[in-house]
Structure 1
């Protein structure tokens, strides 16, 4: 079957191909991420303007979340493989709930650090646990679509939550911030009840095959060239992408493009709207195509986005500069719709069932490292006035990503790369064991 001849599935086909467990897991995403959207854009404002914590200390406290997440990702991946994805996801979501409650009433840096530690545990453990659980209830092309649609729903929930939080939160009334963080905590009850109820039999746990005597340590996994290069690709994608979108982009837009904070806010709205509106359209277009080639297209889009942002810096403070910031967010978001379905799908199609937690933990660790290093580099370069060097570095990083994607293509099978190949074995969602289809 050629790439061009693959039938493009629609929404109804995707939904009908999902197991009951997959539908339950997907249908609650917007609700639980809406709570996250209520607080995500306003956490640092809450610390600084409501609780009186200086901006520099507030920034360090926010970075502490990623540091904790990076520290727990490795052990979390091992536990996912040993006790099951459902149990670990239940644990991590409970940590998120506790963290939000602590932050809701925090008044000192120490209490914020405690709350952020719980959030970091959730971020570090939930990635390998959730992805392993998704892989347990999906297979083949449905798995790639699932990751893409899940990403769109996350953005929808966060976007709607951000709008509601923006209207409700008031820096002159600390109670409003307490309420939105408690609402964030309450939204975690949705996945917790789901995991204790309809999904209680989905363990996301697979026994090691009797004929498999290969070591399953992180070191052994990282000795595989495909894993190494895919991990490098994930880190670089985070460094030039997500590591900059929350730090490098706002800093560049304010200090170089000289646009207002309102334009930056509208830019993030454009980003969210693009993902929500185009994700399923993109999924239909990339269905049956080489995932690595999709990643190459994504790197080209990101390079164009960053060049647009840099060039409009020449006309700083003008309408053209504002349009450049908005255009950046739209093009960058289009690239995101290509990234999110592909790397997680490659990772989980590559991973043996009994090591899925570790494989996803390696991917999550690369992501966390990129989100830590990206803002640091952006801050130093933009603060020193090296704006053109910053843009050049990001574009060079995008080019390096394209090269890495082609390297990965040579190291993985066609089936892992999303094109014709042997059918992936089905997995019993209750036991995680492979079954033979009739």
Structure 2
């Protein structure tokens, strides 16, 4: 496509380095992501309850460190926080490779979670420092597609390599993940050591103009955080617990078909993301979010049909259709929410803005398995699907509420008569009478 060539040629060198970081690191992450619970349970012999509790430490640690990470980004810059997070990832992955006891595994998974909690606000802030405007929205979309390619390819390679009867194969993939985590550190200390912010200011140490309390007093920030939390609760957060549990226990889909369904999801994201980016350019991001929520509601209806008891073929077809339609919604969500977040943000509080969004994401990821486990554990499959659909409809309402509260520039469209300053700066001007 012509716009892809234009996008690539228009990127600064720093932007191309960021895409290289994404490709390498997600490839390393894909080597282990689908297999950690299997590793803990079948290779290290941990009880299923212990293994599940250990897995939850990643999300809990990530959630706990998100807010401090945003403040550190604003105070000391993105590179310092990212390097600290990557260091934790290297140590955590290396430690997990040799974790023969639950306490060692717990420390390793906490370190990995600390990196995830720090990386989301810091990396999004770094992207915003390198690209602006519509290019930024496209960058977030390409970022998401590359993540799926890396994780998908890594998962295939890992699946072909690891063997529960040969523990050394798991040790190897975790060490490979640690090695992949070293690559971003090298790039951050080398080609990206002089990255500067959009206003031309160095992203080094500086005081932040706005604290979390002041930022959260802004209605657009609260609505966007609520939208992110709900989107994860009815979306991504269901992929590790709710969807596979429903597919197996309610719809009776085979494990091999579930694996194919997840591959379909990844393939659809990779195939659709670039065309979608071209179509949504210049359109209101909130309207794109509404289309996303509508597509997700339709996807949940398809999954509900899979559990209708009409046979294995219908169940499998419903699951595959769910994954394909859901992937379309993902390609709409990923470019828009981070772009709105960073267009609302001021330069010297950008880390905090991204941290609020990351905390909402992590909160949804923690709540989603609990909701799925409660409803499916009580054999309330219909209520589970119904709640997910209601959540999607709530997303539509939230997007409309957000649209009424953000400036046109943050919504992906220009306003006649001049540029739009970030929402926080508008409110400060009204307060001071400027």
Under TM normalisation by the shorter chain, which class is it? over 0.9
Q: CA deviation at 1:246?
A: 1.2
Q: Is the 8 A contact 2:230 2:364 kept in 1?
A: yes
Counterpart of 2:426 in structure 1 is none
Counterpart of 2:240 in structure 1 is 246
Matched, 1:302 2:296: yes
Deviation string 1:383-422 (CA, Å, 9 cap, x unpaired) is 1100000001000000000000000000001110001234
User: Which structure carries more relative contact order (alpha carbon 8 Å, separation 6+)?
Assistant: 1
Q: Matched residues in 1 for 2:146 and 2:84: separation?
A: 23
Alignment of 1:85-100 (within 5 A): 85-100=78-93
Q: CA deviation at 1:204?
A: 5.2
Give the TM-score of the pair, scaled to structure 2: 0.93
RMSD: 1.7
Counterpart of 2:429 in structure 1 is none
Counterpart of 2:134 in structure 1 is 141
Local SS of the residue matching 2:404: helix
Alignment of 1:8-407 (within 5 A): 10-202=3-195, 216-315=210-309, 317-407=311-401
Q: Is the 8 A contact 1:135 1:143 kept in 2?
A: yes
Gapped runs of 5+ residues in structure 2? 422-434
Local SS of the residue matching 2:192: coil
Q: Is the 8 A contact 1:139 1:424 kept in 2?
A: no
Give the TM-score of the pair, scaled to structure 1: 0.92
Q: Matched residues in 2 for 1:243 and 1:29: separation?
A: 22
Q: CA deviation at 1:315?
A: 2.8
Q: Is the 8 A contact 2:209 2:349 kept in 1?
A: no
Local SS of the residue matching 1:160: helix
Q: Is the 8 A contact 2:211 2:349 kept in 1?
A: no
Q: Matched residues in 2 for 1:142 and 1:417: separation?
A: 14
Q: Matched residues in 2 for 1:141 and 1:247: separation?
A: 35
Q: CA deviation at 1:203?
A: 5.5
Local SS of the residue matching 1:315: coil
Q: Matched residues in 1 for 2:157 and 2:390: separation?
A: 38
Q: Is the 8 A contact 2:130 2:198 kept in 1?
A: no
Q: CA deviation at 1:205?
A: 9.5
Q: Matched residues in 2 for 1:44 and 1:184: separation?
A: 16
Aligned length: 414
**Compared with structure 1, are the counterparts of its residues 395 and 216 closer, same or farther at alpha carbon in structure 2 (3 Å cutoff)?**
same
Q: Matched residues in 1 for 2:411 and 2:84: separation?
A: 32
Local SS of the residue matching 1:28: helix
Q: CA deviation at 1:423?
A: 4.8
Q: Matched residues in 1 for 2:195 and 2:102: separation?
A: 39
Q: Is the 8 A contact 2:128 2:198 kept in 1?
A: no
Q: CA deviation at 1:137?
A: 0.4
